[in-house]
């Protein structure tokens, strides 16, 4: 059974740029959630995708967008990067949306915006 993977591990971007983060869900899981974890904070829910559709969104502006593909992998896109977007971005998958409590987390992507 393959766990959740994320790429890249780290990246550095300049304010105003755009970034795409990628996530492969655990085998058999059709639901992916994305979180932003700022330093010293808990993970903050960005949005969830279930069967390629957005299935809930946290308090993040529209410049945070996502996609889920037929193989249930997912992308998080952030446009017009701001300094406050610097954080660890976590992806988590679950067997289906109704079992969102048991989320299997990836290692995260550390984004630094300068």
Partner 1 sequence: AQRVTQPEKLLSVFKGAPVELKCNYSYSGSPELFWYVQYSRQRLQLLLRHISRESIKGFTADLNKGETSFHLKKPFAQEEDSAMYYCALLPPLGAGSYQLTFGKGTKLSVIP
Cβ contacts of residue 97 below 8 Å, gap of 6+?
A: 31, 48, 50, 55
Tokens standing for residue 79: 């446009």
Which range of residues in 9-17, 28-36, 65-73, 74-82 is near partner 1 by CB under 8 A?
28-36
Alpha-carbon distance of 94 to 114, in angstroms, equals 33
Mark 61-100 with x for binding to partner 1 (rule: CB under 8 A) and - for no binding. Answer: -----------------------------x-x----xx-x
Which range of residues in 9-17, 35-43, 61-69, 72-80 is near partner 1 by CB under 8 A?
35-43
DSSP tally for the chain: helices H, then strands E: 0, 11
Task: Give the binding site for partner 1 (CB under 8 A).
Answer: 3-4, 31, 33, 35, 40-45, 48, 50, 55-56, 58, 90, 92, 97-98, 100-107
């Amino acid at each position: 059974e393959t766990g959740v993977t994320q790429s890249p591990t780290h990246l550095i971007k300049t304010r105003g740029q755009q970034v795409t983060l990628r996530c492969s869900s655990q085998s058999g899981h059709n639901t992916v959630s994305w979180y932003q974890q700022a330093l010293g904070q808990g993970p903050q829910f960005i949005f969830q995708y279930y069967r390629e559709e957005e299935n809930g969104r946290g308090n993040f502006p529209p410049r945070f967008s996502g996609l889920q593909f037929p193989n249930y992998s997912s992308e998080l896109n952030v446009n017009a990067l701001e300094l406050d977007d610097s954080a660890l971005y976590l992806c988590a998958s679950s067997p289906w949306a109704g079992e969102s409590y048991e989320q299997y987390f990836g290692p995260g992507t550390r984004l630094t915006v300068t």
